[in-house]
Amino acid sequence: MAANTSGWSSPADLRTAVLRAWTSGELLREFHTPSGTHPRRRTLKYPSATQLRTDYARAAAWAQTWDPAPRGAALEYISVGATTIGANTLPCAAVFASAAEEITFLGFGREAAKFTELSRHLTLLDIRLEAWSLQRPLELLKFGVDALTAARVALWMEANPAPGLYLRQLSLPGVHTKFVENHRRLIDSMLAVLVPERLLSGKNYARRHGFLAAPDRVRLRFLDPTQVVAQGMEDIEVTAAAFAGHPVDVDTIITTENLVNFLALPQMPRTLAVFGGGYGFEGIRDAAWLADVEVLYWGDIDTHGFRILDQLRSHHPHVRSILMDQETLLAHRDFWGHEGTATSAQLTHLNPAENALHYALMDGTFAPTLRLEQELLRWDWVLGHLL
């Protein structure tokens, strides 16, 4: 039987308590710069006089688990049961003289030494980064020498807030494009210490830091053969800027986030198909000329599909949804699936029918986490509602 089944503290319980201080980073901070927390006394739960009288053998076995004292700790003792079964001296607290002793108890001395060395190198790069190492000591240990490389990148970005070149062109020892991409959060956390006044906003990491970035692109498919500019060029891709600046002479635009549907759409007079995967319709956001044409959106019937519709409509209020209605949903029960992670975002650009269906999806009215993917709709149903 385990010694702590009656609630008495075991060496494993003490380790759990000390490990929490390590996991929070507190021990390494105290190890680096003592704040007066130590000596630290960690109390132990020990048998009462009544428990000694009723279960002496188990209490004695418990006391043996504390002999000898854990490495790095000094035990305090208390006398229990003097007036009942006779005085028994039991451990009541473990005292650690310093953070180093608690680290010794955990067996993490090597890690603490590595942290000290890495922190020293960071400080040599820039004294301000010492604050970062104390804020995120376990992160420093996790990334090791890569943290030093990330620091050099952060310092370069601080000195060059608008470099005007591609990340690929960044020339620093040991730094390549993939390194920056794989350590974006690490670099940004250091920049937050180096230049706390700099606001980092925007989805595109390169643009957020003043680098050049590949332009957003728009994939188009002319559904009217008479409008194709050259044979074999009915399916083309252009930059978002070109799309925004050159109105296309069509009456209708159909936007879809599914590539197969984009490719399978039938021929239709004066109609253009636009493809955008997931939330990928940023490319048509600034095309003001869309206000003069009918714009249709076809997405999945799930919470994310309606959120994309809501975002698209925030830029182009006249967008109309197609094949995203309750009739379509109920006509395809055999193809219902589950949405992995639903969104609970408040949507403000849906019409009453769309709102009602969106709330029904969130509430699980028809089925929990219901999703109907657009590519699963019967094609005869699609054609019947498009043509």
Structure confidence by residue, pLDDT tens digits, 107-144: 999 999 999 999 999 999 999 999 999 999 999 999 99
What pLDDT score does 128 carry?
A: 96
247: left (phi over 0), alpha (psi -120 to 50) or beta: beta
What pLDDT score does 214 carry?
A: 84
Record: fold of 217-386: Dna Topoisomerase Vi A Subunit; Chain: A, domain 2 (3.40.1360)
Rounded Cα distance, 355 and 36, in Å? 58
What pLDDT score does 3 carry?
A: 41
What pLDDT score does 74 carry?
A: 96
What pLDDT score does 277 carry?
A: 63
pLDDT tops 90 at residue 87? no
Domain ranges of the chain: 11-107, 110-208, 217-386
Which pTM value belongs to this model?
Answer: 0.71
What pLDDT score does 84 carry?
A: 79
> In one letter, which amino acid is 197?
E
What pLDDT score does 286 carry?
A: 87
Rounded Cα distance, 59 and 274, in Å? 76
